[in-house]
Amino acid sequence: MLDQIKSYDQALFLFGVFLCFTTVLSLIWSIVFPKWRLWPPREYNIVLALFMWTKTFLIYGIILVLGVVEWGEIDVYAILRFGPGGALFLIGNVIVWREVFRFGYDQTSGRQGELVIIGFYQYSRNPQYVGDIMLLTGWAIISSAPYAIVLVGLVCATLVLAPFAEEPWLEATYGSPYLEYKARVRRFL
């Protein structure tokens, strides 16, 4: 079965690039035209939330599959792959899922909720993105798969861009409490 998937690895990779490219375009649109922003959504609805999560899980799934089918194609010492790579993967997952469960599905999907400044949000305004970057980088190191590594780089660039689309909305929505929080807590680390 892996051989069958392997024959489609280039198509999977290109589809992943397309998904990243369209996400970057929507973020750039949201930054340049905040009045007509796509992210965060101007008005939350379940269809948009499902679309966002489907796209996210598709990209992450493609990275996972490419990592498995191209496993170890780049020669990296096992101690590096499973030491730092494994640690980044595990720590990133803990950070992401702890904060996703703290926020809940709706708020993580762009619905307005309460301003969260506890947990990992005490140290980073974007701990879910930091965690995602860590777990994806960990997977890239563990799998040592060329296509997965390139896609991880594209997704990480997207995750670095996302706060620039979100922060004007956060400032307008939460006002001075968010501005005070923003002044004392870094964007990432």
pLDDT of residue 49: 78
| 156 in a structural domain | yes
pLDDT of residue 130: 98
If DSSP codes are grouped into helix, strand and coil, which group holds residue 70? Answer: coil
What confidence category does residue 18 fall into, taking pLDDT thresholds of 50, 70 and 90?
Answer: very high
Summarised one tens digit per residue, pLDDT across range 127-161 is 999 999 999 999 999 999 999 999 999 999 999 99
| 189 in a structural domain | no
Question: Which of 11-25, 35-49, 60-74, 146-160 is predicted least confidently?
Answer: 35-49
Given a contact cutoff of 8 angstroms between Cβ atoms, the answer to whether 127 and 95 are in contact is yes
pLDDT of residue 78: 94
Q: Whole-angstrom distance between the N-terminal and C-terminal Cα of the chain?
A: 41
What is the model's pTM? Answer: 0.93
| 180 in a structural domain | yes
Region 167-172 average pLDDT:
94
pLDDT of residue 129: 97
Instruction: Kindly state the helix (H) or strand (E) to which residue 92 belongs, with its residue range.
Output: helix 84-103
What confidence category does residue 6 fall into, taking pLDDT thresholds of 50, 70 and 90?
Answer: low
| 171 in a structural domain | yes
Tokens read off for 84: 């730092």
Give the C-alpha separation, 25 to 38, whole Å. 10
| 101 in a structural domain | yes
| 127 in a structural domain | yes
Give the C-alpha separation, 115 to 122, whole Å. 12
| 90 in a structural domain | yes
The residue among 3 and 137 whose pLDDT is bigger is 137
Residue 107 structural domain? 2-184
Summarised one tens digit per residue, pLDDT across range 69-118 is 999 999 999 999 999 999 999 999 999 999 988 887 778 777 888 999 99
> For the chain, what is the domain count?
1
Instruction: Kindly state the helix (H) or strand (E) to which residue 26 belongs, with its residue range.
Output: helix 9-32
* pLDDT, the chain, mean: 93
